[in-house]
Chains A and B, each alone.
Chain A
Amino acid sequence: MQWAIVLLLAIVAPLLPGWTVFLLSVALAKALVVLGIGLLMRGGLVSFGHGMYYAAGAYGVAFAMKLMGIREALVLAVLGLVAGGLLASVLGMLLARYRGLFFAMLNLALSMMVYGALLKFYWVTGGTDGMAVRQATFGGFVPPAGLLRVAYFYLSLGVVAIVVSMAHRLVRSPMGYLLRALRDNEVRVNYMGGWVEQTIYRVYVLSGGLAGLGGSLVVLNVGHAVPDFAYWSQSGEFVFVALFGGYGHVLGPLSGSILFEFVRSYAYKVSPYTWQLLLGAMLALVILFLPEGLWSLVERRMARRDRWGWSWRPSS
């Protein structure tokens, strides 16, 4: 299934207008962040601060270019992953102990500190101007101007394909189930000898890494890292999309992210002052009528055909 979608996107992309390809690339990259947030949500944890890892990836790329002269796209993407993961591995030591509102708000608080730091240390980070990111190279080559967008798109698509299939394995693995189990009943996990904090910590670092990866891919596409990447409204948007697309399935974040980017940019064009109204209404409808997200529509169809293969929701 995910491969069919990847193939479809890969084939149609070069035929689409440039701005559509750009929008798709950004949506795919952001889907990685949403996927990470969705994994946490499976454990019952909502983070309103993942913008900081997203920013860590973006600024990681900017610094790697500026200070180390690294321009290879794939290397930069990996550096973004590492930057997000590293920051999460430090903050996760504190956060893995918290649940519910405390977890959500602590993430928010920490992300505001990151945002503040990006503004404050302007002689390093460029302050509100941010940092420019130059064109990346692919295997040492700079793609010709007309193909750059498509090259970035294929990079994002490739990364997303790999990450989605790995996430798909993860959610069906013991660790994926433990995440759901601890959301349901932490006491029981302890009484089975399972380690709740450790599991949360690992997933948290993973989600931070994915956010960093997403940030690095976005910044390559847009060519500019700004503090807004870490701003709370950006973090909120990721949570929004996770709910919108649905985090019960690994393809939920992907479809949600693509739809979100397109609706936003179309609605903005048609009606610059009411696009939030439209998006809000759409999310409200999804929450009311499809509480497990847009993707659950597709899943319901699939469930009839293939009971065990695809759905990871309980069969009840």
Chain B
Amino acid sequence: MGVVLETVELTKYFGVVKAADGISVRVEEGELVGIIGPNGSGKTTFLNLITGYVRPARGSIWYRGKDITGLSPRVVTRMGIARSFQIPQLYGGLTVLENMLVALAIRAGRSGEFWRPLQEDARLEEAMQTLSEFGLEGAAAQGVSSLAEGERKLLDVALSFALKPRLLLLDEPTSGVSVKDKFEVMDRLVRVLKSSGVTTVFVEHDLDVVMRYAERVLVFQEGRVIADGPPGIVLSDAEVKSAIVGTG
């Protein structure tokens, strides 16, 4: 089991807000790690730092033994780190299928190709295959702007998954999903993730979801990791509970 991701003393303040305050975390190959914490505790910032969207003021980020601190999102993604977003980031003028096809073309390094159609048979097949793994095959021909929020969220995850990353970072994958569908969506998601074996870090607000699916949980508070361990142990800790429930 190798270390996929290691952050060392990651620090980033926005003015006086401590969005990251010395975060040192290590993620092993194949892990499914949940991140929980109240609003504004720096969860999204942590993902932004890893993927190069935000530069740390101090500290470093290591991916599979390489220092990736300061690299751009494009380069980081090319190296095998994909992410989904708290607010889905889609191509609003394209259909669900076209969104997926674009992801596949970029992954294959074919985005500069101008002679052959995007909708090649092999690519179409893989696109439909991936969409159906996420239960989105029925919406393939739909424009993404007409999707329900939960579906947009799922597509956003599916797009990052389609890049075949070695490390997948998901920012609240079920936040737009209704409470009653939440577990169904997570069941499906975790099944797909587990069968692919991709190392995954997911941010989640819902304690029950983290409890049920994460193998390990990191608790964030004011830019620091205040607890790290198996959910059963960590989440029964009184201090952690008050941190999450108290402010969140």
> Hey, which bits of chain A sit against chain B, CB under 8 A?
169-170, 172-178, 180-181, 183-185, 187-196, 198-199, 202, 308, 314-316
Chain B, residues 107-146, CB within 8 Å of chain A (1/0): the string is 1001111111111000000000000000000000111011
Question: In the complex, what's the smallest C-beta–C-beta distance from A190 to chain B, in angstroms?
Answer: 5
CB–CB A174/B118 < 8 A: yes
CB–CB A173/B117 < 8 A: yes
Q: Which 8 A-B pairs have the closest CB atoms?
A: A316-B143, A174-B105, A193-B77, A184-B91, A175-B114, A188-B89, A193-B78, A194-B106
Note all chain A residues with C-beta closer than 8 A to B110.
Answer: 174
CB–CB B102/A190 < 8 A: no
> Hey, which bits of chain B sit against chain A, CB under 8 A?
51, 72-74, 77-78, 82-83, 89-95, 98, 101-103, 105-107, 110-119, 141-143, 145-146, 159-160, 163
> Can you show 24 pairs from A to B with CB atoms below 8 A apart?
A169-B115, A170-B114, A172-B118, A173-B116, A174-B106, A174-B114, A174-B116, A176-B114, A177-B94, A178-B111, A180-B91, A181-B94, A183-B93, A184-B91, A187-B73, A190-B73, A192-B107, A193-B78, A194-B111, A196-B74, A199-B112, A308-B119, A315-B95, A316-B95
Question: In the complex, what's the smallest C-beta–C-beta distance from B123 to chain A, in angstroms?
Answer: 9
Query: Nearest chain-B residue to A189 (Cβ)?
Result: B106
Question: In the complex, what's the smallest C-beta–C-beta distance from A11 to chain B, in angstroms?
Answer: 30
Q: Which of A178, A314, A315 contacts B102 (CB 8 A)?
A: A178
Extra contacts, 7 of them, besides A192-B82, A192-B106, A315-B95 (Cβ < 8 A), are A173-B113, A173-B116, A174-B118, A185-B90, A192-B77, A194-B106, A308-B119
CB–CB B113/A175 < 8 A: yes
Quick one: given A190-B72, A195-B74, A315-B141, are A181 and B114 in contact (CB under 8 Å)? no
Question: In the complex, what's the smallest C-beta–C-beta distance from A166 to chain B, in angstroms?
Answer: 9
Note all chain A residues with C-beta closer than 8 A to B119.
Answer: 172, 308
Note all chain A residues with C-beta closer than 8 A to B107.
Answer: 192-193
Q: Which of A175, A196, A314 contacts B98 (CB 8 A)?
A: A314
Query: Nearest chain-A residue to B113 (Cβ)?
Result: A174
Most chain A CB inside 10 Å of its own CB: which residue of B82, B91, B92: B91
Note all chain B residues with C-beta closer than 8 A to A193.
Answer: 74, 77-78, 106-107, 163
Note all chain B residues with C-beta closer than 8 A to A184.
Answer: 90-94
Quick one: given A188-B90, A193-B106, are A315 and B143 in contact (CB under 8 Å)? yes
Note all chain A residues with C-beta closer than 8 A to B115.
Answer: 169-170, 173
Note all chain B residues with C-beta closer than 8 A to A170.
Answer: 114-115
CB–CB A191/B77 < 8 A: yes
Query: Nearest chain-A residue to B88 (Cβ)?
Result: A188
Quick one: given A314-B143, A316-B146, are A190 and B77 in contact (CB under 8 Å)? yes
Q: Which of B95, B103, B114, B146 contacts A192 (CB 8 A)?
A: B103
Question: In the complex, what's the smallest C-beta–C-beta distance from B83 to chain A, in angstroms?
Answer: 6
Query: Nearest chain-B residue to A167 (Cβ)?
Result: B114
Most chain A CB inside 10 Å of its own CB: which residue of B78, B94, B115, B142: B94
Q: Which of A174, A183, A185, A308 contacts B111 (CB 8 A)?
A: A174
CB–CB A185/B91 < 8 A: yes
Quick one: given A180-B93, A184-B93, are A191 and B114 in contact (CB under 8 Å)? no
Q: Which of B82, B98, B114, B145 contacts A173 (CB 8 A)?
A: B114
Q: How far is the CA of A172 from the CA of B115 in the complex (A)?
A: 8
Note all chain A residues with C-beta closer than 8 A to B163.
Answer: 192-193
CB–CB B102/A174 < 8 A: yes
Query: Nearest chain-A residue to B98 (Cβ)?
Result: A177
Note all chain B residues with C-beta closer than 8 A to A180.
Answer: 91, 93-94
CB–CB A191/B73 < 8 A: yes
Note all chain B residues with C-beta closer than 8 A to A169.
Answer: 114-115, 117
Most chain A CB inside 10 Å of its own CB: which residue of B107, B115, B146: B115
Q: How far is the CA of A189 from the CA of B103 in the complex (A)?
A: 8
Q: Which of B77, B82, B91, B112 contacts A181 (CB 8 A)?
A: B91
Question: In the complex, what's the smallest C-beta–C-beta distance from A170 to chain B, in angstroms?
Answer: 5
Question: In the complex, what's the smallest C-beta–C-beta distance from A310 to chain B, in angstroms?
Answer: 13
Query: Nearest chain-B residue to A187 (Cβ)?
Result: B89
CB–CB A172/B117 < 8 A: yes
Q: Which of A172, A192, A308 contacts B159 (CB 8 A)?
A: A192
Query: Nearest chain-A residue to B123 (Cβ)?
Result: A174
Q: How far is the CA of A169 from the CA of B114 in the complex (A)?
A: 7
Question: In the complex, what's the smallest C-beta–C-beta distance from B115 to chain A, in angstroms?
Answer: 6
Query: Nearest chain-A residue to B142 (Cβ)?
Result: A316
Note all chain B residues with C-beta closer than 8 A to A176.
Answer: 114, 118
Q: Which of A174, A190, A191, A196 contacts B112 (CB 8 A)?
A: A174
CB–CB B111/A175 < 8 A: yes
Note all chain A residues with C-beta closer than 8 A to B82.
Answer: 191-192
Q: How far is the CA of A195 from the CA of B103 in the complex (A)?
A: 12
Q: How far is the CA of A173 from the CA of B102 in the complex (A)?
A: 10
